Amino acid sequence: MNTSDLSSIALAAEQGGVVCPLPSLGILHVTGDDATDFLHNQLTQSARDFAETETRLAAWCNAKGRTRALFRMVPSDTGLLLITDSEVLAAVQPKLQMFVLRAQVALTNLTDSEGFLGFAGPAAEVLLTEIAGSLPTRPGELTRAGDLHIIALPHGEALRYLMLAPSGQLEEIQTRAEQALTPGDEAFWRLLDIRSGLPEVTLPVQESIIPTMLNLEPLGGISYEKGCYPGQEVVARMHYLGQLKRRLYRAGMAGPPPGAAASVVDAKGGTAGTVVSAAPSPEGGSELLAVLRIDAAKTGELFVDEQPLALLDLPYPPPGD
């Protein structure tokens, strides 16, 4: 996609409406009498006391506190839904299954039968209201209409919406939406995530980053009152002892988007951090989220693929500064 096309999509997302198919997202349905307690004991955020209109971010860590997966937890009629990258889900589901033991828990991958669309812009809000009847009104909030789940996400001063629906129903909605709205793609949706400071964990960076470094504290993805989970001691120590040396930054650069796990280096060629996600920018070049050493970020002169990085603002107060 060239810069002109991307600029048109970005303009539509602000003044018109955009719909983005999101085939790389996967979904795990966790059900059973012990489902809530099971997830509560595995994830960095509480799986209890969920309101029907609430979603939460949460990481699943290994014993060293490194993030295996970053989930958005969504309540369902029979348990909880976990939304994440589909390749990561395929990799972690067998490992998560090992922790079930004798608990009354069933893990079902619904990726082949459910799908996602992303919507942004005022015209998209009008269309979604026609389809669902009402929309969530603040980031992280959920509304449901039959089998549809619609989650509000930040979009500058406004909102955008992630829709989850059965595949057949989703195809019908996508056809209708693409007739009324500007078609976008996953790269554009990733750009909106980057501008919202929302990280993703894909296979290249899996099990390499402590969730605190992904800014999960200001994003509400870590609870320090919920009790133990894998890697909890590492995450808690970093919080209570003030040992955060790296955090998530947003940046821009010339050239095409670097891949996840690309190295960020300082002026002397030393490792300063790792790219988490990147996407083309309508203004040219690319925007990205990267976990950087805080001291290196303060000194400036950072590079990816020999291109200088320009640090950009995040829409929330970052930790560790």
Query: Pairing relation of β-strands 25-31 and 79-85?
Result: antiparallel
- Among 175, 195, 215, the domain-final residue is 195
| Domain count of the fold of the chain | 2
Nearest alpha carbon to residue 276 among 251, 297, 255: 251
Do 14 and 157 lie in one domain? The reply is: yes
Do 135 and 219 lie in one domain? The reply is: no
Positive or negative: CA dihedral 200, 204, 207, 208: negative
Q: What is the DSSP string of 29-76?
A: EEESTTHHHHHHTTBSS--SS--TTB-EEEEEE-TTS-EEEEEEEEEE
**DSSP one-letter code for 205:** G
For 61-104, the pLDDT digits (tens) are: 999 999 999 999 999 988 999 999 999 999 999 999 999 999 99
Nearest alpha carbon to residue 210 among 241, 170, 247, 240: 247
In a domain, 321, yes or no: no
Query: Pairing relation of β-strands 18-21 and 182-183?
Result: parallel
End-to-end CA distance of the chain: 36
In a domain, 320, yes or no: no
Do 167 and 259 lie in one domain? The reply is: no
Is residue 132 predicted with pLDDT exceeding 60? yes
For 232-265, the pLDDT digits (tens) are: 999 998 888 877 899 999 999 999 999 999 999 9
Whether the CB-CB separation of 253 and 308 falls below 8 Å is answered with yes
Helix (H, G, I), strand (E, B) or coil at 142: strand
Specify which residues 165 forms β-bridges with: 115
For 47-70, the pLDDT digits (tens) are: 998 899 999 999 999 999 999 999
Do 144 and 253 lie in one domain? The reply is: no
- Among 173, 195, 217, the domain-final residue is 195
Q: How much is the pLDDT for 136? A: 98
Do 191 and 207 lie in one domain? The reply is: no
Residue 321 pLDDT level (bands cut at 50, 70, 90): low
Q: How much is the pLDDT for 2? A: 64
Do 2 and 45 lie in one domain? The reply is: yes
Nearest alpha carbon to residue 66 among 188, 223, 238, 184: 238
**DSSP one-letter code for 282:** T
Give the tokens for residue 319: 């930790």
In a domain, 318, yes or no: no
- Among 195, 212, 246, the domain-final residue is 195
Nearest alpha carbon to residue 276 among 159, 197, 166: 197
Query: Pairing relation of β-strands 263-266 and 302-304?
Result: antiparallel
Do 100 and 207 lie in one domain? The reply is: no
Q: What is the Cα–Cα distance from 190 to 185, expressed in whole angstroms?
A: 9
Give the tokens for residue 191: 């750009």
Do 3 and 39 lie in one domain? The reply is: yes
Structural domain boundaries, residue 253 = 203-312
Do 161 and 231 lie in one domain? The reply is: no
- 306: domain CATH number is 2.40.30.160
